[in-house]
Structure 1
């Protein structure tokens, strides 16, 4: 169950909420056949990836978007063109580290929607952009 508050009853910060959502997303993709390779990858020239995983034979660069509840659209609506560029830059940095660059890869988004007192609602959007 999602509580979203610390032991003193203070609401989590945006950063704490995001970290918690990344953990939920990592657990979800593992439970659905994904193999988690890395969390919070930062490329040397910029770029960022919340999760790097394998889904079957594909390498997946994943952005996790966590929202308290769907009031103004889907969490993935926040993956703007500017954010996509950062994720793509992170993906290119990861690919440079590989010896075999012929691996199939894609960009995914995992949405984590939270309502106090309820289990998180998770949606794994494959090939999101």
Structure 2
């Protein structure tokens, strides 16, 4: 993918753009973003921790360039799920309760040069 000046965009920048788009997507649906890129001390990570009413959402963002191989959701394999689960468990531990409703979502972002990004949210992804 190229930037407006014609230069190639790194995969890291693609990921950062996807996370910005995912945050805007969640906010537009009334979510409050609580934390970005939460890293648990003993391993585990969550891209976005958000609250929708009383529901906690632990969201993984996967971004791809248009024409890329596979669906972004496919990259959230069992190993990645375990990392997200460890991060969520640490968040709940720090919160001091597991007595809140919560779920795991994956937000897929597809970037096409010159077009509006396509965002698809998979609720209860695992």
With the length of structure 1 as denominator, give the TM-score of the two structures.
0.91
Q: How far apart, CA to CA, are the structure 2 residues paired with 1:120 and 1:4?
A: 14
| Superposition deviation, residue 57 in structure 1 | 1.7
Quick one: structure 1 residues 85 and 55, their matched pair in 2 at CA, closer, same or farther if it must change by over 3 Å? same
The aligned residue for residue 5 of structure 1 is 3
Structure 1 counterpart of 2:26, from 26, 29, 37: 29
Q: What is the number of equivalent residue pairs in this alignment?
A: 126
Is it true that 1:122 corresponds to 2:119 in the alignment? Answer: yes
Residue 62 of structure 1, CA deviation: 0.5
Higher relative contact order at CA 8 Å, sep ≥6: structure 1 or structure 2? Answer: 1
TM-score, with structure 2 as normaliser: 0.93
**Which residues of structure 2 form unaligned runs of 5+?**
none
Q: Give runs of aligned pairs for residues 55-70 of structure 1, distance below 5 A.
A: 55-70=52-67
What runs of 5+ residues in structure 1 fail to find an aligned partner? none
2-structure distance, mates of 1:98, 1:70: 41
